[in-house]
Chains A and B, each alone.
Chain A
Amino acid sequence: KQEVTQIPAALSVPEGENLVLNCSFTDSAIYNLQWFRQDPGKGLTSLLLIQSSQREQTSGRLNASLDKSSGRSTLYIAASQPGDSATYLCAPVANFGNEKLTFGTGTRLTIIP
């Protein structure tokens, strides 16, 4: 059974700093991995999808990397802004034909103005 861990559980940083969020998963035989953000009481917003054949994916100030062999993914946020405050969740997909997402408990990020 896939288990996902995100450390730290909570993180506060001053505005403008670069930061890294970590995600680890126990079963490295994944098909792809998706990063989401969730604002309090809201649904999930997809940020990035990394295919298992890729090592990283970029969108604006966000860069996600994937190392399947070590069961790790990181989300790098450059030049953080108060609007980046949210909970960030990573979710690996088990394999082709089984697209259910497995989530950890996320990292709650607070950007201090």
Chain B
Amino acid sequence: DTGVSQDPRHKITKRGQNVTFRCDPISEHNRLYWYRQTLGQGPEFLTYFQNEAQLEKSRLLSDRFSAERPKGSFSTLEIQRTEQGDSAMYLCASSLDRGQGSYEQYFGPGTRLTVT
């Protein structure tokens, strides 16, 4: 399987706990994105990386959220002190910057977080 993978697929946690999600992009894709989707809504952009550099962060990404892509391959998204409002599907996507202006993004299956 050469698509984007995410782990875990489902996470149930209690309010106040920390959680970490992992995303493995398509091999050789140098751009990686995180989005969040709540029920009935379209995904909302959180942050993205070009290789290991985090280039943009949404104001949705409060100081309880941190994302890393230490070696320019997989990425992790950590949420500290989870709140019930963090319950959502967290989606990862990747794309390849060939310098030719075509940046089709490919999404993973998502991690569904439920905070009780």
Query: Which A residues lie at the B interface, using CB under 8 A?
Result: 4, 31-32, 34, 36, 41-46, 49, 51, 89, 91, 93, 96, 98-106
Total inter-chain residue pairs, C-beta < 8 Å = 63
Query: Which B residues lie at the A interface, using CB under 8 A?
Result: 4, 6, 31, 33, 35, 40-45, 48, 56, 58, 91, 93, 95, 101-110, 112
From A51, A96, A99, contact of B105 by CB (8 A): A99
Minimal Cβ-Cβ distance residue in A for B104: A49
Residues of A within 8 A of B43 (CB): 44, 89, 101, 103
Q: Decide: A42 near B56, CB < 8 A? Known: A100-B45, A101-B45.
A: no
Q: Is there an interface contact between A51 and B110, defined as CB atoms closer than 8 Å?
A: no
| 11 A-B pairs (CB sep. < 8 Å) | A4-B42, A43-B6, A43-B108, A43-B110, A44-B91, A89-B43, A93-B103, A98-B56, A101-B33, A103-B44, A104-B42
Minimal Cβ-Cβ distance residue in A for B42: A103
Q: Is there an interface contact between A105 and B42, defined as CB atoms closer than 8 Å?
A: yes
Minimal Cβ-Cβ distance residue in B for A6: B42
From B41, B58, B95, B112, contact of A99 by CB (8 A): B95
Residues of B within 8 A of A44 (CB): 43, 91, 93, 107
Q: Is there an interface contact between B48 and A99, defined as CB atoms closer than 8 Å?
A: yes
